């Protein structure tokens, strides 16, 4: 059944991939190989914390842009570390934990950015298995939880800080191509401060039960319901944090749940200009994305052509929907003036409307506010975490 499903998925993506190839130029295999290795050497998006020597061996075994070949070779490398982790679980649990984590990183690259072939789908499934095994051995643990939702399920990760009986909670909405497992690693920075962390996929990605359409924020209302149902979490102190595209959904949740949230973190998300055809025609040409940007976006939006994407995007605008001037909880807005993924004018528009907001803007920053000297983790640790702590402290 799994193989049959993977074959169907692959057929759908091969069609969209062929359409994308006709319109949008791609890196050649040699260009992609060089760029992937360069990013591994810099531990840069999306090749985080993968040994460049391992990346070189894997890439040397790939000879084309075939998604099947890509998924297969990264998965083989992940299998080696997963097997090693299993052999160490009893005798060296810390070593096993680290091997599971590394296997997850390799499998994750095998399935990135979207399951466009059977091997990529299998690699992504193995990534989840490795991540859950890693989470069981981590301290504090990373729990994998399913919340019933409209006949389906919302899959989340939950991390609770040690020694805190009733911690406040940050709900993290992942981005368009780095899902809730990636977000969970970053969100561990909340735990030392007695704050619990939940991560969940954004609509149209990962295991989200809904497509990227207006109203999909109801998923996060259900997650808030779940938090408030648990006696071991403080359901009166909840903040929603988005990253990149996930921030768009965080803003929508801020409007929908203004009475149940203590804050919202919005980091380089789209607002209005991003959704317009003039911007999207440029965005679909980006080379900042390592590869398969078009396929990733079509999958996220649940459409089969770029033209359909152009038609759908404007319906998502916060301005068009009249949400910009709606009241929200306190909001921290983070952005980079030099952002090429989302127009900085979107960040300015958000700051100029609605409830009063806090802002951290990097004048030389790109998307997420990052720059050559200011990295993502620094922004999270020195901007996001302190602001969240302040909001929770202000309500005690």
In a domain, 124, yes or no: yes
Asked if residues 169 and 197 have their Cβ atoms less than 8 Å apart, the reply is: yes
Residues contacting residue 335 through CB under 8 Å, at least 6 positions apart: 267, 268, 344, 347, 359, 360, 361, 362, 365, 369
Q: Is 62 found in the same domain as 10?
A: yes
Q: Which two tokens stand for residue 294?
A: 């078009």
In a domain, 306, yes or no: no
Residues contacting residue 386 through CB under 8 Å, at least 6 positions apart: none
Q: Is 223 found in the same domain as 117?
A: no
Please tell me the predicted confidence (pLDDT) of residue 288: 83
Q: Is 396 found in the same domain as 371?
A: yes
Q: Is 342 found in the same domain as 239?
A: yes
What is the three-class DSSP state of 114? coil
- Max distance between CA atoms of the chain, in angstroms, equals 58
In a domain, 269, yes or no: yes
Q: Is 87 found in the same domain as 13?
A: yes
Please give the sequence-ordered ranges of beta strands (E in DSSP) within 113-253, or none if there are none: 143-149, 152-159, 169-173, 196-200, 238-242
Q: Is 168 found in the same domain as 25?
A: no
In a domain, 175, yes or no: yes
Of 93, 112, 138, the residue at which a domain comes to its end is 138
Per-position pLDDT tens, the chain of length 396: 444 444 444 444 444 444 444 467 789 999 999 999 999 999 988 999 999 999 999 999 999 999 999 999 999 999 999 999 999 999 999 999 999 999 999 999 999 999 999 999 999 999 999 999 999 999 999 999 999 999 999 999 999 999 999 999 999 999 999 899 999 999 999 999 999 999 999 999 999 999 999 999 999 999 999 999 999 999 999 999 999 999 999 999 999 999 999 999 999 999 999 999 999 998 888 888 999 999 999 999 999 999 999 999 999 999 999 999 999 999 999 999 999 999 999 999 999 999 999 999 999 999 999 998 998 999 999 999 999 999 999 854
Cα 75 to Cα 37, 42, 82, 339, 343: the distances in Å are 17, 22, 10, 33, 36
Q: Is 134 found in the same domain as 153?
A: no
CA torsion sign for 153, 154, 159, 160 is negative
Count helices and strands in the chain by DSSP H and E runs:
15, 8
Q: Domain tally for the chain?
A: 2
Please tell me the predicted confidence (pLDDT) of residue 4: 46
In a domain, 393, yes or no: yes
Of 98, 117, 138, the residue at which a domain comes to its end is 138
Of 296, 316, 298, nearest to 307 by C-alpha is 298
In a domain, 357, yes or no: yes
Residue 366's CB is within 10 A of a number of other CB atoms, namely 21
Please tell me the predicted confidence (pLDDT) of residue 29: 97
Please give the sequence-ordered ranges of beta strands (E in DSSP) within the chain, or none if there are none: 143-149, 152-159, 169-173, 196-200, 238-242, 263-267, 331-336, 357-362
Beta bridge partners of 158: 143, 198
Asked if residues 391 and 262 have their Cβ atoms less than 8 Å apart, the reply is: yes
Q: What is the DSSP string of 95-110?
A: HHHHHHHHHHHHHHHH
Q: Is 173 found in the same domain as 79?
A: no
Please tell me the predicted confidence (pLDDT) of residue 395: 52
End-to-end CA distance of the chain: 51
In a domain, 355, yes or no: yes
Q: Is 321 found in the same domain as 197?
A: yes
Q: Read off the DSSP letter of residue 174.
A: P
Q: Is 259 found in the same domain as 118?
A: no
Of 105, 138, 171, the residue at which a domain comes to its end is 138
CATH label of the domain that carries residue 200: 3.40.50.1820
Of 6, 41, 69, 29, nearest to 291 by C-alpha is 29
List the domain range (segments joined by +) for residue 180: 142-276+317-396
Instruction: Name the pTM for this structure.
Output: 0.92
In a domain, 311, yes or no: no
Q: Is 258 found in the same domain as 148?
A: yes
Q: Is 337 found in the same domain as 221?
A: yes
């Amino acid at each position: 059944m799994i193989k049959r499903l993977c074959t169907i998925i692959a057929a759908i993506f091969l069609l969209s991939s062929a359409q994308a190839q006709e319109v949008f130029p791609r890196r050649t295999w040699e260009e992609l190989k060089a760029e992937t290795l360069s990013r591994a050497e810099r531990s840069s998006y999306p090749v985080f914390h993968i040994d460049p020597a391992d990346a070189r061996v894997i890439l040397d075994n790939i000879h084309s842009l075939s998604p099947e070949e890509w998924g297969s070779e990264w998965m083989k490398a992940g299998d080696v570390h997963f097997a090693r982790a299993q052999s160490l679980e009893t005798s060296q649990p810390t070593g096993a934990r680290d091997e599971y984590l590394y296997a997850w990183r390799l499998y994750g690259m095998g399935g990135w950015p979207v399951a466009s072939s059977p091997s990529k789908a299998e690699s992504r499934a193995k990534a989840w298995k490795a991540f859950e095994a890693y989470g069981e051995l981590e301290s504090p643990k990373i729990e994998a939880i399913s919340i019933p939702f409209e006949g389906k399920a919302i899959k989340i990760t939950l991390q609770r800080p040690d020694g805190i009986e009733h911690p406040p909670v940050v709900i993290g909405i992942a981005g368009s191509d780095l899902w809730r497992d990636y977000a969970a690693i970053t969100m561990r920075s909340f735990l030392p401060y007695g704050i619990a962390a939940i991560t969940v996929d954004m609509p149209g990605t990962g295991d989200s039960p809904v497509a990227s359409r207006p109203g999909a924020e109801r998923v996060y209302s259900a997650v808030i319901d779940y938090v408030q149902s648990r006696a071991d979490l403080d359901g009166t102190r909840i903040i929603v944090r988005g990253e990149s595209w996930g921030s768009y959904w965080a803003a929508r949740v801020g409007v929908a749940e203004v009475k149940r949230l203590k804050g919202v973190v919005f980091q380089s998300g789209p607002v209005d200009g991003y959704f317009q055809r003039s911007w999207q025609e440029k965005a679909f040409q980006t080379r900042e994305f390592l590869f398969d940007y078009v396929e990733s976006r079509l999958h996220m939006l649940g459409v089969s052509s770029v033209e359909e994407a152009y038609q759908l995007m404007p319906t998502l605008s916060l301005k068009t929907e009249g949400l910009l001037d709606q009241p929200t909880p306190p909001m921290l807005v983070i952005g980079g003036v030099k952002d090429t993924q989302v127009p900085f004018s979107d960040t300015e528009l958000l700051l100029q409307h609605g409830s009063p907001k806090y802002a951290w803007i990097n004048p030389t920053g790109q998307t997420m506010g990052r720059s050559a000297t200011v990295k993502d983790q620094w922004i999270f640790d020195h901007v996001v975490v302190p602001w969240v702590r302040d909001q929770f402290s202000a309500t005690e």
